[in-house]
Amino acid sequence: MVSVTAVWIYIFFTTFTIGYGILSGTKKRIPYSIRYKDSYLVCGLVAVTVYAQFFSLFGRVGLAANVIMSAAALAIAWRSRREFKSMFADMRNKIRDKRMGGSAKAFGVLFLFLLFSYGASRGMIHYDTGLYHAQSIRWIEEYGVVRGLGNLHCRLAYNSSSFALSALYSMSFLGGQSYHCAAGWLAFLLAVVCAEIVPSLQRGRIRTSDFARLMCVYYLVNIFDEMVSPASDYFMVLIAFYIVIRWLDLLEEEIEEIYPYAMLCVLCVFLITVKLSAALILILAVPPAVCLIKEKRVREILRYLFLGIVTLLPYLIRNVMISGWLVYPFTRIDLFDVPWKIPKGLADYDAKEIQVYGRGYSDVSLFDMPVKQWMPDWFRSLSRIDQCMTAAAAVSVVLLAVCGIGTACGCWKRRRRFLPVQAAVACSFLFWLCTSPLMRYGCVYVYLTPAVVLGNLYVLYAAGGEKDGKPSEDRSSPGDTPGRKAVRRCAVFGSVMLLLYKAAALGGQICSSFENDYWLTQKDYDNYETAAYEINGVTFYYPKEGDRVGYESFPSAPVKADILFMGSSVEDGFMAADL
């Protein structure tokens, strides 16, 4: 736990300062002041991840990468020392202000910090982490990017930018273990964002964004004993929650300036580099793009396009370097004829296997099975609560379609501002459902679709006294009928009970899994017994049983690899032996 805390402090310093520098530079001449301090942290997290990916193109992501990053952070901190001094003085005054409850908020953040650092120091290592996550991270630590790495094991071609982030902050160059604290840090940030629901509960008025927060709390509790693992699914889900929550916050606070929405759109581009299945979140980019084009703000358009391209570029380059495909395992975009390219047949088989596995099968020959045949069995295999959530999401999609038609016809004008975010999560839910509906792949869309659709309907038509989806502070508004009051009380009561239930479940989970071994150092990767073999004088490993190898046995794959070296060493890359 102490090691996790130390790494988190380092993450905080580097991401906050770098994020501050980027946001301060990008909003020059724009009349907008950053509303949420976590924006600096998230912006910095994106920036250092993009940096780590670029760095991996030239060498290992280790000591040198951290020295350069720390030097940049120190330079920004020195240049902005006056602003930082003023900012932290203001924060200190708010903490001391009893009327604002500053000390209680500070204590709450500290409590969440300690709670999540405890959770991130121990727990269960994800199955796929032993299969390929740990190996992917170690390849970045040891070599950066290696051409044709996917030929050693096709899952090493699942190029998630989250692996570069984990490698950057693993501290493996210190000679000890490779830490994996980034997922826990992101979970802590989301927990702080979700804690903003407390004032709404105190007022007895829940906003649409608060329904999204409730779903995020539910997810955080579910992964509390798993966030020790650097699985890309956790990064994708947590960032998607952050995008939607903050987008709704901006709408509810009636922010008209395009800048914060455009920066969230850049975050949407980053989300795609974490998990390609999140591509439809880019639907959110349509309204800001339309506004910028209509107002002919060419300079800002070029600025945001540049940020998006820089965010996406290293991910695409790494894709080509690792697999030979621009977007592996999607083979319809075939632009490069390189010797290390993963064979098309293998890539297509891998893509089908992913989708079939998500439907609950392991036989790829069932790929063409009609939806009406596989979906009933898939639905029955879900837990009861996931069945309810999925059904609620499906109902929400239907309601959204009806309300969308009504909005297009001029009715329900108050819904217009929320339609883009609702459409983004609903379309993402449908895409997930029709392709590879494994719950951990797309649970964020299952949770968010009813939250932003049904939650917004509640705020608009059941809470009373609303304006553009923002609850009125006046409890005695003319539309506040006894029926609406009853619905509102039930909603608040249900929200409180859900939070208490999940808090009790989390407490029981912590007590049942309590171990006294990880107060100083974080739980290490799971490692498995392996056998060694040689290719071109280099020792490789494969598991004696099962298909997991862990972190220590390096380099390794689930089975003996059938590959050829493109040169005399590992750095030269690999190619398929049957080419």
Q: What is the pLDDT of residues 294-309, one digit of tens each?
A: 998 899 999 999 999 9
**Domain match, 432 and 541 both:** no
What pLDDT sits at residue 482?
A: 59
Q: Cα–Cα distance between 555 and 358 in angstroms, integer? A: 28
| Residue 81: how many other CB atoms lie within 10 Å | 10
Per the domain annotation, does 479 fall within a domain?
yes
Q: Cα–Cα distance between 566 and 575 in angstroms, integer? A: 7
Q: Cα–Cα distance between 492 and 484 in angstroms, integer? A: 12
**Domain match, 377 and 482 both:** yes
**Domain match, 374 and 499 both:** yes
**Domain match, 551 and 458 both:** no
Give the chain's count of helices (H) and strands (E). 21, 6
Helices (H), ranges, 195-257: 198-203, 208-222, 232-252
Distance of CA 186 to the CA centre of its chain: 8
Per the domain annotation, does 454 fall within a domain?
yes
**Domain match, 373 and 453 both:** yes
Per the domain annotation, does 534 fall within a domain?
yes
**Domain match, 442 and 548 both:** no
Strands (E) across 389-456 are located at none
Half-sphere exposure of 337 (CA within 13 A, CB side): 0
Half-sphere exposure of 380 (CA within 13 A, CB side): 4
**Domain match, 371 and 484 both:** yes
Domain count, the chain: 2
Contact assessment for residue 235 and residue 183, using Cβ atoms and an 8 Å cutoff: yes
Contact assessment for residue 467 and residue 417, using Cβ atoms and an 8 Å cutoff: no
Distance of CA 80 to the CA centre of its chain: 29
Contact assessment for residue 425 and residue 449, using Cβ atoms and an 8 Å cutoff: yes
What pLDDT sits at residue 478?
A: 43
Contact assessment for residue 81 and residue 189, using Cβ atoms and an 8 Å cutoff: no
Per the domain annotation, does 346 fall within a domain?
no
Token pair of 364 as six digits = 């790829």
Per the domain annotation, does 98 fall within a domain?
no
What pLDDT sits at residue 415?
A: 59
Q: Name residues whose C-beta falls within 8 Å of residue 392's C-beta, 6 or more positions apart in sequence.
A: 449, 450, 454
The distance between the two most distant Cα atoms of the chain, rounded to a whole number of Å, is 81
**Domain match, 388 and 453 both:** yes
Q: Cα–Cα distance between 126 and 547 in angstroms, integer? A: 14
Contact assessment for residue 512 and residue 504, using Cβ atoms and an 8 Å cutoff: no
Per the domain annotation, does 537 fall within a domain?
yes
Q: Cα–Cα distance between 62 and 481 in angstroms, integer? A: 62
Q: Which domain holds residue 540?
A: 530-565
Q: Name residues whose C-beta falls within 8 Å of residue 551's C-beta, 6 or more positions apart in sequence.
A: 134, 135, 137, 138, 178, 524, 525, 527
**Domain match, 379 and 500 both:** yes
Residues of the chain falling short of pLDDT 70 = 98-101, 405-415, 462-516, 579
What pLDDT sits at residue 465?
A: 44
**Domain match, 478 and 445 both:** yes
Per the domain annotation, does 553 fall within a domain?
yes
For the stretch 192-232, pLDDT in tens is: 999 998 888 777 778 899 999 999 999 999 999 899 999 99
Q: Cα–Cα distance between 48 and 70 in angstroms, integer? A: 10
**Domain match, 374 and 415 both:** yes
Per the domain annotation, does 490 fall within a domain?
yes
Token pair of 383 as six digits = 């837990």
Last residue of a domain, one of 505, 521, 552: 505
**Domain match, 457 and 543 both:** no
Contact assessment for residue 186 and residue 235, using Cβ atoms and an 8 Å cutoff: yes
